[in-house]
Structure 1
Amino acid sequence: MTARHILVVAHTGRRETLDAAVAVCGLLRDAGVVPVVDPEALNDLRGATGGHEFRVLGTDPAAGEIGVGDIELAIVLGGDGTILRAAELVRGGSAPLLGINLGHVGFLAESERDDLGSAVGRALDRDYLVEERMTLSVRVKLDNEIIHETWALNEATVEKASRERMLDVVVEVDGRPLSSFGCDGVVMATPTGSTAYAFSAGGPIVWPSLDALLLVPLSAHALFARPLVVGPNSSLAVELLDRTPGLGILWCDGRRAFDLPIGARVVARRSSTPVRLARLHQGPFTDRLVRKFALPVTGWRGPIDPPTDAAPATGAIALPRPGATAGGGAGA
């Protein structure tokens, strides 16, 4: 029988999260599943368990490392930042991410800390849906030469590199210039990222079931610098003008940075590789907004019973439990 490998990703710098990671690894071992950890957390986990050996995510099978293609599921313990890190780790594989919020808002997380045991149990039973979230393919061009390529789940942001200097940019949609202005930066986001940086900058919240791209200027000095929502097959671009007084920097998901030379052009398109999220509940996105942002809904007198024709979010795939069908599984 082929061994099952589940990746455990945790912000081990927090004692509570480290303890939760140790508990999850124990539950997986007890069920006959091999827990896999990322190299950054290895020493912390060994220290917390008295030197217990762990299988490590990597690219060297001869050293006992487990490749990303062999990961069935990633259980992520922490906030949205930890989930974004986990998305980096499983990029190139098909493993979905099951987020358990041990941070603050945890908008991408599926469960809260009180549901830890139940969430792990359902993961072991493969009792979840998989929802695919759009990502961005991002290129930096200079004189028509590609000098950098990356990706983003939430957003790609062109920002000024120094606080005292602004950027002069031209924004472009579908290969055509739209407007130029001075600004602190420009956010190019996915629907998933509409509740992150783009939201803080005044952009609209876009339901994740909608395929679209967002462009949100940051502190623009212009009469026409409104947030834009375009179709999923469109391309967005931000070009640093030669007259710009400051240097720019590209940030993807607030984690990966690239210094932008004058004249650089950052192009964002829909990527062909989505991020897969494991979902334990099929509740509407509206409820998630209310819960995560603690929105006031007291006094609402809507329908008592939910609509009978409600469907799961676009892109959600029901996975069979073990034994239901041959070959069924999160990594299939």
Structure 2
Amino acid sequence: MTVTATRRVLLVAHTGREEAREIARSFAKSLTAHGIVVRLIASEAAEIGLDAALFDPAIETVADDGAAAVDCEVAVVIGGDGTILRAAEITHGSGTPLLGVNLGHLGFLAEADPDDVEATIEAIIARDYTTEERLTVDVTVYRGTELVARTFALNEASVEKAARERMLEMVVEIDGRPLSRWGADGVVCATPTGSTAYNFSAGGPIVWPVVEALLIVPLSAHALFGRPMVVAPSSVIAIEVMATNEGAGVLWCDGRRTVDLPPGARIEVRRGAPVPLVRLHDSPFTDRLVAKFDLSVEGWRGAGERRLRNGGKTPDSAADTDGSDA
């Protein structure tokens, strides 16, 4: 007799939105009907209205203890990019791919929209999807030789001043060598995935997700050499908060996790383990930029567009058959 392994899907939702709760219930109903166990954080299950006692064993509830995503083939995330970043915390270390259903504004991390719910459910049931690995950063904080904090970021790690009225004096180091001293509001260290988030707002470059690189963007630096930089993915970026600072700083990772930085703190940022994102469509990143930012491409006459206008022929082949060269 063949024993079939139980399939499990983790479900994470923005429970503060009724639309998200409704979509979560739709996912749970459809997936469990196909023999797939749906797992939820216990507190979220109660807010969504999925009582495990009524659906057991098709619905599982677990504690948010760092092991919630273990043995799950995919994590379906219903909400905006903030919800996906929260899900990345839950799945960090498990390697579970994230599939975002966007209910937010831009939703660069999400793969599907609310109108795509049925197609997304069918893709999960049929395992008809691919994954794309996204670079992350590991972040460590030292006070002297003491390690005081360790975390990660999918989008960015930013060192910022804690007091509005004071600049933060710091020295930036790349691969063990000092680069520049800045008096600034802070500095953003971003991944290519995060290049469309805080990095973009701070004036940094947009980097295609397939590019392996780390980005450094100073925030309102009082320095001649205070420009955005792109460094190798193998580089180690270090930011030393000067001991002479009168005020403290704060480390933000993905806008969610914070660490207080006293004068003299050292923050090191290096490449971390990748996070897999589910892809349902093979759409170019260029198209995603155009759609998300509503960019004008009026007047474009690319090769593909010309072929469409010429009935599938290239401009040269069209010229050969229309008699213009006769």
Structure 2 length-normalised TM: 0.88
Q: 1: distance between equivalents of 2:63 and 2:13? A: 17
Q: 1: distance between equivalents of 2:276 and 2:238? A: 26
What is residue 8 of structure 2 aligned with on the other side?
5
| 3-state DSSP of counterpart to 1:304 | helix
Matched-pair identity in %: 53
Provide Cα deviations, 1:178-219, integer angstroms capped at 9, x if missing partner: 111211110011100111001100000011101000000011
Residue 98 to residue 242, structure 1, CA distance change in 2 (3 Å): same
What is residue 37 of structure 2 aligned with on the other side?
34
What is residue 144 of structure 1 aligned with on the other side?
145
What is residue 322 of structure 2 aligned with on the other side?
none
Equivalent position amino acid for 1:281 in 2: H
What is residue 324 of structure 2 aligned with on the other side?
none
Matches within 5 A, 1:139-288: 139-271=140-272, 273-288=273-288
Q: 2: distance between equivalents of 1:21 and 1:105? A: 20
Q: 1: distance between equivalents of 2:43 and 2:232? A: 38
Shift, 1:87, TM fit: 0.8
Q: 1: distance between equivalents of 2:95 and 2:168? A: 39
Provide Cα deviations, 1:33-68, integer angstroms capped at 9, x if missing partner: 1111123412212379997664123489xxxx9752
Contact 2:41–2:68 under 8 Å retained in 1? no
What is residue 323 of structure 2 aligned with on the other side?
none
Q: 1: distance between equivalents of 2:128 and 2:62? A: 24
Contact 2:10–2:69 under 8 Å retained in 1? no
Matches within 5 A, 1:46-85: 46=49, 54-58=59-63, 67-85=68-86
Provide Cα deviations, 1:53-86, integer angstroms capped at 9, x if missing partner: 64123489xxxx9752211101111110011011
Residue 57 to residue 91, structure 1, CA distance change in 2 (3 Å): farther
What is residue 121 of structure 2 aligned with on the other side?
120
Equivalent position amino acid for 1:88 in 2: E
What is residue 293 of structure 1 aligned with on the other side?
293
Larger CA deviation: 287-296 vs 157-166: 157-166
Contact 1:22–1:48 under 8 Å retained in 2? no
Contact 1:101–1:112 under 8 Å retained in 2? yes
Shift, 1:153, TM fit: 0.4
Contact 2:68–2:90 under 8 Å retained in 1? no
Q: 2: distance between equivalents of 1:66 and 1:270? A: 23
Provide Cα deviations, 1:97-153, integer angstroms capped at 9, x if missing partner: 111111111111111111111011101111111100010011111213221111110
Residue 151 to residue 66, structure 1, CA distance change in 2 (3 Å): closer
**Please, which runs of 5 or more residues in structure 1 have no aligned partner?**
308-332
Contact 1:141–1:264 under 8 Å retained in 2? yes
Equivalent position amino acid for 2:33 in 1: D
Equivalent position amino acid for 2:280 in 1: L
Q: 2: distance between equivalents of 1:40 and 1:299? A: 51
Structural RMSD (CA): 2.1
Q: 2: distance between equivalents of 1:178 and 1:82? A: 36
> After TM superposition, where is structure 1 displaced by more than 6 Å over at least 4 residues in a row?
47-51
Structure 1 length-normalised TM: 0.86
Equivalent position amino acid for 2:283 in 1: G
Equivalent position amino acid for 1:283 in 2: S
Higher relative contact order (CA 8 A, sep 6+): 1
